[in-house]
Amino acid sequence: MSVCGRKRSFLESSPASVSYKKLRRCSPAAHCFEAKVKKPCQQNTVLKRAVVIQHERQKESEDKNNELQHLKQSVSQYQEQLRTLEVKNYALTMHLKQAQQSNPIPGSFHPDVF
Q: Is residue 88 part of a domain?
A: yes
Q: Is residue 111 part of a domain?
A: no
Q: Is residue 29 part of a domain?
A: yes
> What contacts 38, CB < 8 A, 6 or more positions away?
4
Integer Rg of the chain from CA:
40
Buried b (16+ CB within 10 A) or exposed e, 91-105: eeeeeeeeeeeeeee
Domain that holds residue 53: 3-100
- In this prediction the pTM is 0.49
Q: Is residue 16 part of a domain?
A: yes
pLDDT digit string, tens, across residues 3-58: 556 656 655 665 555 555 554 555 667 677 777 788 889 999 999 999 999 999 99
Q: Is residue 93 part of a domain?
A: yes
